[in-house]
Structure 1
């Protein structure tokens, strides 16, 4: 990757094409450098497989043919391939695991045969779908054994990716990245210095510091603060041997609600309906009706509060994003990441978080311009082999 270019990564969720009605065509590819596609699942024997084949590889979008003589790729991955063809800096990685599909990581990572199956099957998906990398989202390693096995898995993935790259005469490497925790209880279990040998980017999930599990209404993604904070996690990762220019700070495109509360730091009762799940609102639906938006200068956090509804919602607004991009630049970090794109306003909107990050990092000339990979002669799909020509 270009040493100076800042990363703007964002998760695209396969399920966003359903009720959320957010499609690949809605991504502003000028303002995103890396897409992380959520998620692939893992079988007990280690095989990595796509989580929703209809959305991922089968769905026909506008302009897709139904008269194929040979096997072609469709679904979200064809749409992403077309974007890659159009925008040479736009890179796509497959994210494996996630909160719901991390169950098999511990057993798979603990045995050499299942690790091997994990590695070979994920490389197969990369070759077939025409991807630029793999992203590991293991939530979360629980003990010393898990932590050591995680490193073994990353080492074997790195070696396999490099081997495939060499066989294809790639001018630049395929990416190996991971989504990583910001909670002290989780990150203290990780072998971060060893992971640093194999990972290109560390995506810090710097959100969900608070929620329905919390005792009081509080910030979910504050930059500073005595307990949980983005800065505290960044500091720990660097002190444990992670290169600062590999660290990418994650930011939410959603808010977490607390009801029947007197506001920040107060007790609450219930979290409300949310947009798609209880207690969670898409950022584009915020601030809520009757609510006033506030900025906490000390913590660098924004929130809304409605005195009439007694509802507190914690989320990042553009003001917070600008502070965080300044923090990234000042501390020589690599960039920012968002979970997940369907929650944002369109980038033409003055409150778009993606737009705020793009401008905050310095715009077109400041962001990563490393070219994507376009040649996949071993793909099972004819249109991928042909580069969608």
Structure 2
């Protein structure tokens, strides 16, 4: 451990620093708008979401997703290629630019190369007065937190590595995304409750020492759960003292893991689904001891969740148990907003007044999503209840081809104009229907400006959905939500008609069984016992993070990886531990590298020993694009590589 620390410390001394003087922007609306930047989105749509295409004036902070950790408290990135390009800027292939070093692996020194720093997220954000935090963890990278947090030495090492990470990258704080303390399917234990508090305390102390030395403040935030069973595992009154902001993940309340259709991010509880809404989550945190609304940020989903099945027209209806991948194949059934609005032309759309969310349906399935009105209502809720602000999953979700951002614009528009009220629906006469399908009167709209884009709403129905049984079940890892976070149990609002006080829910969460493999059956999480209890770990596949992003069964798994983390097949390992953008690379045998003599890219594992780091990429297409710049060379590379 000390050797790794010394190696990084030496590099930080020898290499030029990236730290620059900048002033944090103070917006007149006073709210915090945190946008998660998912590194894998850099690959999508020909790098449309690269930092230079974003309007940084619309956010307060970026949380870069994700960095990862292990039982020892080491910290490193999840994508050896995209991480450095997004954060430090495009590569300077002439080598004349300043060197910046990316923490790509746990056991090796950082990978250093020249970058055009002004094109990177950190430089551009700081120039706009915007903070950048690394988010450490995520849905598929949370299984090692329990062991780490239980070890006092590892807690100190992790906290010290947070400080080094900040200094190496010029970050402005730390975001912890442990999903979730006490959650058994991610190796959680009852001891997590106390250990989580001790873990955050250690980080807080280290950041305070750094802040005193630097003459500034470094923030500490955490992505936090909704749903009574998960919230109970956290000492809210204790962790609130260590965290500067409480980032409540108020989305993924309902999905294909439930028996019936439901709202992805209801502002208020659905009928028959108590405690699962934005409002309920906020109230649970306040009642649990975190009665500091000025610290609470609520989540805004820039994506939707679909359900497959015929004849689905609303909430509380049985579906086939999977997402509608026929209509939303590009996003595995959880369409990002930019894909969603492009596909709604063939759908019937509607509005649910109780949950303040939009929905759509066709012959292939049902979709729950947040449109401009839904995002406006959540923004207004935060304003009316004096909350601190918002977290957005994720920033590329509403980035259209013309670089417009309709959902993000609604947030800023509502915050910057106190006279705006979201419940004016003058542009949508159908939404002014006087009663729901159940005959429940709907309050008359308050006159005022309209924020919605009428073109996005074909038909608006105000319906009260039938009873939806609240099942707080969690899907298997391969069913992980688009947000990288738990499809969970969530919150609601302050004072709203037909919204009972939060109740103590009992989540149906099944503990893992030795030798068993979790399977998703009819929306429930069950465990089927393996026929062989004493299986050979050597034959199982384990994930290799960093540049390689591979799964191997060579018997060389790190000691901290237990048998429950091993997978029976390479494909299962790849889909469990890596995001969709990395699957092609993971399922392949070797990374791609350039053969300059043949003007081609190959993945035969025979690259020269000196060729490492950024020379090794995930796909042939990326390799050809990066190393053969002119059109003729790229065409040759692509044809030879195939």
TM-score (norm 2): 0.53
Q: Pairwise mapping of residues 224-239 of structure 1 onto structure 2 (< 5 A)?
A: 224-225=268-269, 226-227=273-274, 228-239=276-287
Equivalent position SS for 1:294: strand
Question: What does residue 84 of structure 2 align with?
Answer: 57
**CA 1:31–1:346 in structure 2 vs 1: closer, same or farther (change >3 Å)?**
farther
CA distance in 1, matches of 2:371, 2:409: 11
State which of 306, 309, 313 in structure 2 corresponds to 1:263.
Answer: 313
CA contact under 8 A between 1:294 and 1:304: conserved in structure 2? yes
State which of 39, 43, 46 in structure 1 corresponds to 2:73.
Answer: 46
CA contact under 8 A between 2:29 and 2:415: conserved in structure 1? no
Equivalent position SS for 2:259: coil
Question: What does residue 57 of structure 2 align with?
Answer: 30
Shift of 1:86: 2.0
CA distance in 1, matches of 2:235, 2:413: 34
Question: What does residue 334 of structure 2 align with?
Answer: 280
CA contact under 8 A between 1:102 and 1:138: conserved in structure 2? yes
Equivalent position SS for 1:328: helix
CA distance in 1, matches of 2:301, 2:208: 32
Deviations 1:70-111 (A, max 9, x none): 6335499971122134212x0100000000111110000000
Question: What does residue 342 of structure 1 align with?
Answer: 396
State which of 247, 255, 268 in structure 1 corresponds to 2:296.
Answer: 247
Question: What does residue 375 of structure 1 align with?
Answer: none
Shift of 1:298: 1.5
Question: What does residue 168 of structure 1 align with?
Answer: 214
**CA 1:325–1:63 in structure 2 vs 1: closer, same or farther (change >3 Å)?**
same
Q: Pairwise mapping of residues 179-198 of structure 1 onto structure 2 (< 5 A)?
A: 179-198=223-242
**CA 1:295–1:276 in structure 2 vs 1: closer, same or farther (change >3 Å)?**
same
**CA 1:77–1:275 in structure 2 vs 1: closer, same or farther (change >3 Å)?**
farther
State which of 130, 139, 154 in structure 2 corresponds to 1:114.
Answer: 154
State which of 186, 194, 214 in structure 2 corresponds to 1:148.
Answer: 194
CA contact under 8 A between 1:221 and 1:315: conserved in structure 2? yes
Question: What does residue 346 of structure 2 align with?
Answer: 290
Question: What does residue 260 of structure 2 align with?
Answer: 216
Deviations 1:262-293 (A, max 9, x none): 22211111313235442211111224341122
Deviates most, 207-216 or 255-264: 255-264
CA contact under 8 A between 1:45 and 1:117: conserved in structure 2? yes
**CA 1:78–1:177 in structure 2 vs 1: closer, same or farther (change >3 Å)?**
farther
**CA 1:70–1:43 in structure 2 vs 1: closer, same or farther (change >3 Å)?**
same
Gaps of 5+ in 1: 365-389
Deviations 1:274-315 (A, max 9, x none): 354422111112243411221111111111122xx1421111
Gaps of 5+ in 2: 1-23, 102-114, 183-188, 419-642
RMSD over equivalenced CA pairs, Å = 2.5
Question: What does residue 374 of structure 1 align with?
Answer: none
Deviates most, 31-40 or 70-79: 70-79
State which of 177, 181, 202 in structure 1 corresponds to 2:246.
Answer: 202
Q: Pairwise mapping of residues 37-116 of structure 1 onto structure 2 (< 5 A)?
A: 37-57=64-84, 64=92, 66-68=94-96, 71-72=99-100, 74=115, 79-88=120-129, 90-116=130-156
**CA 1:44–1:76 in structure 2 vs 1: closer, same or farther (change >3 Å)?**
farther
CA contact under 8 A between 2:90 and 2:117: conserved in structure 1? no
CA distance in 1, matches of 2:85, 2:31: 33
CA distance in 2, matches of 1:316, 1:341: 15
Shift of 1:27: 2.1
Deviates most, 159-168 or 70-79: 70-79
CA distance in 2, matches of 1:105, 1:97: 8
> Taking CA–CA contacts closer than 8 Å with sequence separation of 6 or more, which of the two structures ends up with the larger relative contact order?
1
CA contact under 8 A between 1:55 and 1:76: conserved in structure 2? no
**Rg comparison, structure with higher value:** 2
CA distance in 2, matches of 1:169, 1:349: 37
